[in-house]
Amino acid sequence: MAAMTAHAEILYDGAQTGGVTTDDQYVIDYDTSSIGNVVLQFGASTNYLRFNTVSGNFEISSNLDLGSKQLINARIQNVALVGDVPTCSAASDRGKAIFTGGAIINLVSTQVLAINTQYICNNTNAANAVWVNVSNGDATTLNGLSSTDFLRSNASTTYTGPGNTLTFAAGTNVVFTTTSVALPGTTANSFVVNNDAANGDSSTLTFGDGTGTMIFNDTTGIFTLNNSLTVTGTTTTSNLTVGALGTVNLNNNQVQNLRLENLAVLPGSPAVGRIIQLTANDTTAPGCSVAVPCTPATYSWDGTKWNRTSIDGTSSTLTFSPEYANSTTRPDGLDNIGVMSSDFDATANNNFYRWTTNITSLQDLDVVADVRLPDDFKSFAAANPVQFDIRSSDINAARAKIDLTGSDTVGAALVFSPVATNIIPAVINTWTPRSYGITGGTFTAGSKVRLTFKLSAMKTGGISSTMDLGSLRLNYIRKSP
């Protein structure tokens, strides 16, 4: 006999059926006898829909999946007391949302929740749980805020987050609209860029739309501007570098305390017109040699060689040929019998004074020269400032000689080195140059120094000796007049 299946229906008929009031409503606990929870359980599992008769809330045992459908006319949990605030201390709490509809709530964590504000539990780990204001309102501190939320404050605050560092990712623009900005590494009197002070990198300030930049190279210590520089006030600089073919237009303003580019060696092939202050002797650059070195001075490059442009520190010579300008012969009042003449030596191409006498005792006569120091006079040369040529028919100082004396521009006696007395030539009837240094003295450009040459001679064995004085040279150092 085949198995049979029974089909049955339970019919509910209006108010006479317990739990049913109409065809569209099903009532659990119709007699309201329950004083606890009313539960609708599904299957043999523990999943349920429960109504808490004490709190008046529905509770479900599992997640509610709306399948991307809208949740309409919903409101986030309202809290007004500390006890109403859910936990925000574990990863499972992340995403909980509350609205503080009551008075300000002081939590055990010391976090303060403002009234009428929406919060969400932002929890990455148990030690970093925090209720985050998501009402798009004002925050009094930055602590705990994520860049994915918002970043604004309506009160002065100090950020004390992990590491005390607020980092903006590459490509992020930071715009300050206030008149005062204080950043890490700054003080009240300074603004620091690239505070790590790492050598070898560059720091850049960009202005406007990015077409204007100021770059500081930490290796060379040089600032580079990519455009023109206008200075309306006083500028003090220790190093200003202008790019190739760049110009500096001072608009007829003064340049004070300016020093040209200082180098110990002149470059080989610089741009035409480059000016350099050489600080040491150079024997290798074009225009310099071992025989004629370029000494410390200002030089300009003409495209082929370096040319000295400054006269300050250069050497010059004043040359006088007999008869010396502004000179005279003068007897000293004793033993001055003889003849002073001037003549020309065609062989040596040299003018000269000649003193001779027929007296058998030493006779003398002075040649006195007043020499005006030129306007570019800075000082006498360190070596051999006074040079002159002499010749004599006798090289015995007892019978023929020259003595040199003089005075500086204030009338003080000159001190010569070596002592300039009993001066004779090295060989009879041969021109011999003699050189003397000057120790001390006062010398003012445009003023006069006096040099006095005392020529002495006598007659011996029937022969009158002769004493000749040739060209006079004064070597000095120049200055810019």
- Shared-domain flag, residues 467 and 391: yes
Question: Does some domain include residue 387?
Answer: yes
- Shared-domain flag, residues 473 and 341: yes
- Shared-domain flag, residues 373 and 455: yes
Tens digit of each residue's pLDDT (9 = 90 or more) over 29-39: 665 665 678 88
- Shared-domain flag, residues 334 and 389: yes
Assess contact for 321 and 369: CB atoms under 8 A.
no
- What is the token pair recorded at 26? 């099903």
Tens digit of each residue's pLDDT (9 = 90 or more) over 277-298: 999 999 999 989 998 888 888 8
Tens digit of each residue's pLDDT (9 = 90 or more) over 344-381: 999 999 999 999 999 999 999 999 999 999 999 999 99
- Shared-domain flag, residues 352 and 473: yes
Q: Which of 331, 324, 387, 386 is nearest to 351 (CA)?
A: 324
- Which residue among 121, 139, 154 closes a domain? 154
Q: Could you give the CA distance from residue 35 to residue 429 in angstroms, rounded to a whole number? A: 151
- Shared-domain flag, residues 365 and 420: yes
- Shared-domain flag, residues 120 and 50: no
Give the range of the structural domain holding residue 364, as residue numbers without chain letter: 316-478
- Which residue among 154, 177, 196 closes a domain? 154
Q: Could you give the CA distance from residue 414 to residue 451 in angstroms, rounded to a whole number? A: 9
Q: Could you give the CA distance from residue 329 to residue 453 in angstroms, rounded to a whole number? A: 9
Among 107-121, 282-296, 410-424, 428-442, which is the least confidently predicted range?
107-121
Over residues 93-108, mean pLDDT = 73
Assess contact for 443 and 408: CB atoms under 8 A.
yes
Assess contact for 87 and 95: CB atoms under 8 A.
no
- Shared-domain flag, residues 327 and 440: yes
- Shared-domain flag, residues 411 and 471: yes
Question: Does some domain include residue 432?
Answer: yes
DSSP letter (8 states) at residue 187: B
149 burial via Cβ count (<10 Å: 0-12, 13-18, 19+): middle
Res. 195: pLDDT tops 80: no
- Shared-domain flag, residues 31 and 129: no
Tens digit of each residue's pLDDT (9 = 90 or more) over 128-175: 567 777 775 555 555 555 544 445 555 666 666 556 666 767 777 777
Question: Does some domain include residue 135?
Answer: yes
- What is the token pair recorded at 318? 């004043």
Q: Which of 252, 255, 253, 276 is nearest to 266 (CA)?
A: 276
Q: Is 186 helix (H, G, I), strand (E, B) or coil?
A: coil
- Shared-domain flag, residues 18 and 131: no
pLDDT of 16: 47
Q: Which of 424, 374, 419, 378 is nearest to 397 (CA)?
A: 424
Question: Does some domain include residue 357?
Answer: yes
Please, which pLDDT band fits residue 254 given cuts at 50, 70 and 90? Answer: confident
Question: Does some domain include residue 348?
Answer: yes
Taking each continuous run of H as one helix and of E as one strand, the counts in the chain are 0, 32
> Phi and psi for 164 in degrees, rounded to 5?
55, 35
- Which residue among 131, 154, 177 closes a domain? 154
Triad 478, 480, 481: Cα angle to 5°: 100
Tens digit of each residue's pLDDT (9 = 90 or more) over 86-99: 877 777 778 888 88
Question: Does some domain include residue 113?
Answer: yes
Supply the pTM of this predicted model: 0.47
Helix (H) or strand (E) holding 471: strand 466-478
More confident residue, 114 or 126: 114
Query: Which residue has 């062989």 as its token pair?
Result: 347
DSSP letter (8 states) at residue 283: S
pLDDT of 185: 61
Structurally, how many domains does the chain consist of? Answer: 3
**Cβ count near 454 (within 10 Å):** 20
- Shared-domain flag, residues 339 and 467: yes
Range of 48-57, 180-189, 248-257, 384-393 with top mean pLDDT? 384-393
- What is the token pair recorded at 267? 């470059």
Assess contact for 98 and 118: CB atoms under 8 A.
yes
